[in-house]
Structure 1
Amino acid sequence: MRRNILITGASSGLGAEMARQFGALGHNLVLTARREDRLKTLQEELTAKHPAISVILHRLDVTDHEQVFEVFRAAEAELDGGLDRIIVNAGIGKGAPLGSGRFDANRETAMTNFVAALAQAEAAMELFRAKNAGHLVIISSVAALRGLPKTVTTYAATKAAVATLAEGLQLELLGKPITVSAIYPGYIRSELNEKVTSAPFMVDTVKGVRAIVKAIEAEKAKAYVPPWPWVPMARFLKYAPLPLLKRMI
């Protein structure tokens, strides 16, 4: 059992719900995010429901790369046995059509969703290589499967980038004690998409995260979640001709 888990972006959305579900399974948790007040509220909730687990908090802005390394190293020392699993979850959904004058929004998305994820992966792998053990989980998205238009062009590109990062590590570490998972959530209700009024196959946070947690616990190399409809949809999205794809989205 991967007893000790660090989750980034744990103050809301998928990260907070992952903390709740992993806590219910008996995992010790290190929860990180920028919003300390929300982390504190979540910590109080989890320790009240599951007094046997440890819940440690660290304020972390994942775009502060030096802080990422400092927090990961501190968390490794705080829990008996160190960190068994690190979930790279923090991300944002800002974006604008390229050339529309909002390079600032697209740059912020790229820096948070890819460059900061790279920093987290680096910090995690530093710890795991030192002890030749661990499970790195990278949260991608079904948006990674194809280039997408307008406001999600940069977002989709960042999620494809982190998925490729995970696969590169999988290839390197094949057959070794360190495992890497790439998780591709479909449309799961969270703060990231709370303004989206309609999306196909949207599921609520608890149900969606239950599928994420199941895939992570199984240490799947790649998982589209929830499996229905995203396993068959992933195959379709990957190979659909652009004119057909454009009519659908």
Structure 2
Amino acid sequence: MPHPVRQRILITGASSGLGAGLARRFAARGRDLALAARRTDRLEMLREELLTAHPGIRVVTAALDVDDPAAVDDVVPRLAGQLGGLDRFVANAGIGRGASVGTGHGSANRATLVTNVLGTHAQAEAAMALFRAQGAGHLVVVSSVAAVRGMRGTRTAYGASKAALNALAEGIRSDVLGTGIRVTTVLPGFIATDLNAGRRGPFTVDLDRGVDALTAAIEREPVRAYVPEWPWRPVSALLRVLPLPVVRRFT
């Protein structure tokens, strides 16, 4: 059975990278968008670009720091109200700071854990409150292939935060199984974004290809999707079983 068209979509972390790329792809498909991020100057530039290219859509924006759960609880329903409801929520906002544990960069590691885990939890709470009230919706949680195994160096806290999101999304999915609410976890591989600067590894793809694959995966609404599917689905399967010394060299 085909999935319903998700006309009204809220994307966090929409001022750059994957979030901005998703906004452009969904705008080209005629969707109405609510875009949230901390950098409102970039958001407004993106809004003007999208409305110029696709004058038939609606685009609303708001400043949002997902580290502030009260702000999330205020902004998400306000944006949804401006669109007359919400059909899909893409919890994309996140950061990738960090260093090897015990090397004097604990604050950066904590910041990554707080934003990626607690910030995404706050987004999920706000989105699911709306979806539960209307009995339908699509929650998309942006994880990472870095969540598959423990990662060394700059990816340790980041990978741990994304592993927590896998469990969070699955728990929500279990809770609403059999209802009109769908939950998708997407696990991007190495995509050339600002967040991945200095962390790019084998099979890194450019931003356009990565966003195309991510958009297609979200539209399919699977339980879990690796982005791009090739090579990251087989690579992820290998990562789960390879001995740690091999995984360490790969990452």
Aligned length: 247
* Counterpart secondary structure, 1:193: coil
Q: Which runs of 4+ in 1 moved over 4 A?
A: none
Query: What letter corresponds to residue 202 of structure 1 in structure 2?
Result: T
Q: Is the 8 A contact 2:98 2:109 kept in 1?
A: yes
Which of 207, 231, 234 is residue 233 of structure 2 equivalent to?
231
Q: Secondary structure at the match of 2:182?
A: strand
Give the alignment partner of residue 26 of structure 1, picking from 23, 30, 34.
30
Q: Counterpart in 2 of 1:123? A: 126
1:164 matched residue in structure 2: 167
> What is the Cα deviation at residue 168 of structure 1?
1.0
Deviation at 1:246, TM superposition (A): 2.2
Match of 2:112 among 99, 109, 113: 109
Deviation per residue, 1:163-190 (Å, 9 max, x gap)? 1111111122222100000000011111
Give 1:132 shift: 0.9
- CA–CA separation in structure 2 for the residues paired with 1:21 and 1:165: 27
- Looking at structure 1, the residues matched to 99 and 48 of structure 2 have their Cα atoms a distance apart, in angstroms, of 38
For 1:149 and 1:246, the matched residues in 2 are separated by 7
- Asked if 1 retains the 8 angstrom alpha-carbon contact of 2:72 and 2:123, the reply is yes
Question: CA offset at residue 115 of structure 1?
Answer: 0.5
Inter-partner Cα distance in structure 1 for 2:106 and 2:159: 15
1:70 has 2:66 as partner: no
TM-score (norm 1): 0.97
Equivalent positions of 1:88-237 (< 5 A) are 88-196=91-199, 199-237=201-239
Q: Which amino acid aligns with 2:240?
A: K
How far does the alpha carbon of each residue in 1:152-211 deviate from its partner, in whole angstroms, 9 at most, with x for none? 111000000011111111122222100000000011111112334x52111111111111
- 3-state secondary structure, aligned to 2:25: helix
Question: CA separation in 1, counterparts of 2:55 and 2:246?
Answer: 52
2:8 pairs with 1:4: yes
TM-score norm. by structure 2 comes to: 0.96
The partner residue of 1:15 within 12, 19, 33 is: 19
SS in 1 for 2:141: strand
RMSD after superposition: 1.0
Give me the whole-angstrom Cα distance separating, in 2, the residues matched to 1:23 and 1:228.
Answer: 26
Aligned residues of 2:35 and 2:61 also touching (Cα < 8 A): yes
Seq. identity, %: 51
Contiguous gaps of at least 5 residues in structure 1: none
The amino acid of 2:227's aligned partner reads V
